[in-house]
Structure 1
Amino acid sequence: MSDSQHPDSVAGEEATEAPGGGAAAPEAGAAPRDGQELHVNWLYGLLALVLLSLAFGAWGLWTVLGGGGGEDPASLRQQVEALEQQVTTLARSDQISREANRELQGALAEREEQVAALREEVAFYERFVGSTAQRQGLTVHELQMRPGEGGVWHFSATLTQNLERGQPSEGGLTLAIGGSRNGRYEELAWSDLRQREDAAPLDYSFKYFQQVQGDIMLPAGFTPVRVTVRAAPARGSAVEQSFPWADATGRSSPGA
């Protein structure tokens, strides 16, 4: 009576089984859960790839900055210091070479000036001593004047003669300087230049040539224009030779 009374109950239980005794059909929520797991796995893979790329980038940066290649920062610093030392040494060597070259150029220029002076002296000697030299009596060949201190000027007059070879020429030498002071022309005699009323001439005695040297004093406010050298021999007439101040000094005025 119980089976016939509940026919629907038996029919419902049989409906839950698959035909032929198979397994029950999957639930409706199973498919969405598998898709979520696949999506999560894909995200994990992408994150792993990013981390691996970052790791390779960090390793490359560390290698470039000195952490790899078998060289540590201390070794690289030593190499840099060695290169800097080489640069300093080369720079110092170049400076020394330049200084030595300048000194050499200066020495060569000085030697050239000495050679030129010697050639002038040789030509000078040949003019007055050589067999073909023109015979001349007492002559004031050259006058040079150099400034000193306090208005003092040092002069050097070159006297020559080859007319009487072997016979000395003797006498006295004086100077006279013409110029202007306070807008008026004035000539200073030997006594004015030596600042002594009884100033004696400078003695000379030579066979072919001699440089007679001495000092004179120019008064303040005096502008010299011309210098006259007078050589008075013991025998014969005096000889005078005038030189422009600019030629004797290379200056236009004593203070220039």
Structure 2
Amino acid sequence: MAVVTGSKQHELKIVQYNPWRRVLMVLVLMAVVGSGVVASYYTGHHTGMAGQEKALDDVARLRLELSASESNVDSLTQQLANINLGAEVDRQASETVRQEVIGLKDQVAALEEENSFYRNLMAPTGNKRGLTFGAVEIVDTDKPRTYNYKVVMQQLATNHQLLAGSLTVNVIGRLNGVDATFSLSQLSEQVSREAIRLRFKYFQTVQGEMALPEGFEPERIELVAKSTGKTPVTIEKRFGWLVEEA
């Protein structure tokens, strides 16, 4: 063999060729890889199962917490409804009591007024003796231009005798801009004559409903009462048109 000057020489080694050894190495390598794959699979499966169990436990726990929360919400909702109901009952009870108190006050005022009225009838003072006017009221109604009226005539005396006489009631105002006067008999169906007959021992009440004609604007009311007998008396009363609300 020719030797080339200046080149590096490598040592040659003769190895026996064994094909089964190579196959064996391949099989071992495949076994190792397969074992790794199997180990990885089981490891992943175990980890996944553990995670799934934890997730299922969390879901079950959350369901229990949700059920408990819903129960608390239902309980609080019922408590709130009970509180609102109690507050409404208390409000209605307070309103009922308030109305009852107002009604009782009105009754007491009415009784005091009646007591004063009868006391004056039975024991008049000073110059308040004989025929006199009591209450005079004009009260509004729910019908247009229609009013309830009441006139009370009294006899103030220590020794009451039957009193006879008459009463005239006139409503004075302007009809379509012109002065006009209407007697109560022209305005009320309860009065049939201009001079209303009086006949009483203690008091007499004249009351009913009157309707004003269209275009008439009332300004004042004039009342004239006359008694008959040995010592006749004439009394008058005038006041502006004042209407009380019903």
The bucket for the TM-score relative to the shorter chain is 0.5 to 0.7
Q: Is the 8 A contact 1:143 1:243 kept in 2?
A: no
Q: Does 1:239 align with 2:235?
A: yes
Give, in angstroms, the shift of residue 215 of structure 1. Answer: 4.4
Is the CA contact 1:154–1:216 (under 8 Å) kept in the aligned structure 2?
yes
Q: 1:52 to 1:121 in 2, by over 3 A?
A: same
Distance 1:125 1:206, change over 3 A: same
Distance in 2 (alpha carbons) for counterparts of 1:182 and 1:45: 111
Q: Deviations over 1:11-69 (max 9, x none)?
A: x9xx99xxxxxxxxx96996897588457635642442233122122123124325x9x
Q: Which amino acid aligns with 1:60?
A: D
Bigger shift: residues 160-169 or 86-95: 86-95
Superposed counterparts of 1:1-256, under 5 Å: 34=32, 37-38=35-36, 41-42=39-40, 44-66=42-64, 98-130=91-123, 133-134=125-126, 135-147=128-140, 153-163=147-157, 165-190=159-184, 192-193=186-187, 199-235=193-229, 236-246=232-242, 249-250=243-244
Task: Tell me the amino acid that sits aligned with residue 53 of structure 1.
Answer: G
Greater mean alpha carbon deviation, residues 55-64 or residues 132-141: 132-141
CA contact (8 A) 1:126 1:133 kept: no
Q: Which amino acid aligns with 1:108?
A: V
Change (3 A) 1:108 1:191: closer
- In the TM superposition, residue 82 of structure 1 has moved relative to its aligned partner by 9.1
TM-score normalised by L of structure 1: 0.63
Aligned to 2:7: none
Q: Calculate the aligned-residue CA RMSD, in Å.
A: 4.4
The normalised TM-score by structure 2 is: 0.65
Question: What amino acid does structure 1 have at the position aligned with 2:233?
Answer: S
What is the CA–CA distance in structure 2 between the aligned matches of 1:194 and 1:40, rounded to whole Å? Answer: 116
Q: What is the aligned-residue identity percentage?
A: 22
Q: What is the rounded CA distance, in whole Å, between the counterparts of 1:151 and 1:220 in structure 2? A: 8
What is the Cα deviation at residue 204 of structure 1?
2.4
